[in-house]
Structures are given as C-alpha cells and as structure tokens.
Amino acid sequence: MDFGSVDVRDTCDDVEGAGRATTAGETTEREGTSARDAALGAKETGAVRGQAIQGRRGPATESVRGSATGGARGSASGAVRGSASGVLGSPATGGLRALATEAVHAGRDDLARQGLHAVPIDLSTTYPSYDSRGEAARIDAFATDGAEPEGPPVYGRLGNPTVARFETALARLEGTESAVAFASGMAALSAVLLVRNAMGLRHVVAVRPLYGCSDHLLTAGLLGSEVTWVDPAGIADALRPDTGLVLVESPANPTLAELDLRAIAHACGSVPLLADNTFATPVLQRPAEQGARLVLHSATKYLGGHGDVMAGVVACDEEFAGRLRQVRFATGGVLHPLAGYLLLRGLSTLPVRVRAASANAAELARRLAADPRVARVHYPRLGGAMIAFEIHGDPHEVIAAVRLITPAVSLGSVDTLIQHPASISHRIVDAEDRRHSGVSDRLLRLSVGLEDVEDLWRDLDGALGRG
C-alpha cells in the first residue's frame, strides 16, 4: 500500500496514529501523525504532515460594489498567507477568521447591509446603459489589462455578479489576490495555456500523472503547446527560454502521489508553477503558500460537492487574472450564473464535507491495506477523501458488483464513486505512459463520500469478493 509515494507498510499507522497496523500479513510499528485526525481537523491548531493548520494572515482587501445582485467583487488581495486550515484576513470584520468561517461568509459580506440573506442569482445576459461613451471607456480599460469594469455589469460574457461572488470567495480560501471561473476545469486549463501561448511561451514542463484529459491536451498539442514530461527532480533542467508553465497535480489523479510543491516552485525559477489542487482543496493544502503562482480546480468536484454543477477556476494574482478574463471574454468559456451560485453554496460546507469524507476514506484505506485481496493501496499523507487501490482479481468485476457505491467517472460528491482509470478517466493517455506513471490496469479509484463507513465497507467487501 502506498501513501503517496511511500509504501503503506511503513505508513498505515498514519491513518490511526502511532501504533501497529497489519497489512498483507505484515505488521509494522512506527510513530506518525494521524491522517484521520488531521483530516477531521478536530483542532484548527493541529498539523497535517508538515502543512501547518494554523497561521496568521494579513488582512485581505475586498471591494464590495454594485447592486443587490452585484455582489462582492474585486480581489481578495493581501495576503492570505499561511496554512491550510488557518486564519484568513477578513475586511468585513476587520479581524481574522478561521477557514470554516470564511467558507461560509466569503463573497457574502455585503448581503446583510442590503437586507438580504441568501445570495441573489443574476441571470441577465446584458445590462441597460444610457452612457455609451462611458461604456466605451470601460471596454477600452478592460482591453488594456483585463481588470473587472468598475460600476454596473456590461455583458454576461464580460462578467457576472453572481459568478464574481464565487471568485472572490475561492480566492480568499486559496490565499490569492483573485480567481477567474470558467465553464469547466478543462476550459480553465486551456485559458492558462492560451495566455502563455499569446506571449510566445508555448513550452510546458509537466509531471505525470495528471488528470487524463489534461495529459491529452498537452500531449496532442491541441492548443499549439509543446510538452516535456519529467520527474520532479528534472524540472529545472527541462526549462527553456520559451517555457511558459510548469504543471503538476498533487495529490495526483489517480495514483494520489504527492509532490513537494515548495521545492518544485523553487526549481521553476521565474516560470509560473500551476498546481492542480482539485483533490486536496484549500481545506487540506494551499499551493499558493508554497510558491505556486496558479492554482487550478475542477470545481465540478469538491468545490461544488454534489455532482450537479460543472465548472473550473484558477486562483492567481490579479495580473494573471486580468489576462485570463481577456481570454474568457474572447473564447466564451464563461460560467453560468446558476453554476456560480451553486459553487458558492458548495463552498459553505466544503470544510465539513472534506473532513467527514476524509475520516471515512482513512478508515477504508486502513481496511483495504489489511485485506489479502488487495495488492496495494495509495492514500496521501495529508489525508483526503480519495483512495486508489490495486487488486489481485479483476477490477471490472468489482465495478460491476457494487450496489451502494456508484460506478461513475468524476469525484468529490457527497456520495461515494468508484471507477477504473485505465478504462475511463485515463483511457485517452497512451497505455505505456499510463503504466509508467503508475496507472496500472488493476488500479481502482475511490472517491469516498459521506455515507456511514460500515455501509461503505460492506458494499466494498462484497464487491471485492466478486473481483
């Protein structure tokens, strides 16, 4: 079994804390931090494998303007720097707020002053204006640097007040100045590549494994980019004058391998590091605090959390955000306002969902590690709700045999999902490249939800018996 890149025989006690754990007939004893306790976040002052859960943060500045549907706009500037479950600066309170509090209130700070409680949904595609000279000036300003236009909205493709609330909230949680939302995670990644391509920086250095479609987008050169695949230690040597981006995912999809983001950011030098944080979410890690300039989410997953919204988002500094907004405007990869509303609602329960699902996952990882039908289990040191495991039998039979667990692509929902990456999410990746990056044909990926863990184990145990 493997917690990230470390064999589970040395780390299975991390699920329960220091002590003894039996895996595949072998007993190991060592001291370690409890991944389950860390995932639960019982105390905001704990620690997750060197990722401090505490930290003081400077005040974030948030400009609140517009009508009742206009909402909280502007950047979450300042400096949300520190740890994953730490304290974030709050302009509304003039003080510091915990992550769980910020998840509930970020992007909503102006509602009470407007006599509102629920976030309004602005479905307008266009907005009236009798000042055409003023509109021309605002559009010219947007064309210059991509900054959000001051005053009332202009057009739905240029920006939407409901979506802006979600962007503000996500930037606050990730500790970046800004965030830009898109219609999907792939649209978000495509926009990043297009920004760099437009600057003549078409070369990308990337570390496998990545989400299968991200891998394909780079390998196929669909946007005119060229990719060099390397191990983490080879990043610095792979950089070229035309390198525009270094792309990593940690924990990685689907093997859950973890990378030292701080070391990688240092190796990148002046080249922006984009870290896909979909699996960890800002509850467990904030890549920007470790040097990543860009943080990517498939918001379809944990940020939405209920399997009913598709979206992507990039958290970054305001300079890069401006360029992303220009690409979004030109290409039309906009997020629908209803999706923005659902995502903002999803953020309010994100810490609770992630911690509860992580507790279930840690327990299932422990049981799978001790099961003779399972060859290897991958579970990240920082915890989380994702498990990958390789079985001795037929993975397709396990997929066919589950009854409570849903066999489906995607992840991060309140219900538990299982899939066979080599057949679905990573099918588009060359078979040899899949195997080289650890995605074996016997690997199953489990996105653990909020069901009772005993019910989940009963279903998984029965399905393994059929495999």
* Active centre residues (catalytic): 157, 211, 276, 301
β-pair partners for 227:
204
Report d(CA 23, CA 7) in Å as an integer: 11
Cβ-contact 201, 244 below 8 angstroms = yes
Selection from 297, 419, 312, 415 nearest residue 356 by Cα: 415
- Going by C-alpha positions, the residue among 202, 158, 201 that lies closest to residue 325 is 158
DSSP state of 221: T
Taking residue 390's Cβ as centre, other Cβ atoms within 10 Å add up to 19
**Number of other CB atoms surrounding residue 330 within 10 Å:** 11
Contact 343, 299 (CB under 8 A): yes
SS3 content of the chain, % helix, strand, coil (to 5): 35, 20, 45
Instruction: Transcribe 125-185 into DSSP letters.
Output: SB---S-HHHHHHHHHHHHHH-PPPSSS--BTTT--HHHHHHHHHHHHHHT-SEEEEESSH
Alpha-carbon radius of gyration of the chain = 22
DSSP letters of 11-65? TTHHHHSSEEEEETTEEEEE----HHHHHHT-STT-EETTEES----PPPEEEE-
Q: Residues 6 or more apart from 181 whose CB is under 8 A from it?
A: 163, 166, 167, 170, 188, 299, 311, 312, 313, 335, 340, 343
* CA–CA separation, 256 and 329 (whole Å): 34
**CA distances (Å), 465 to each of 32, 48, 137, 185, in order?**
32, 34, 67, 36
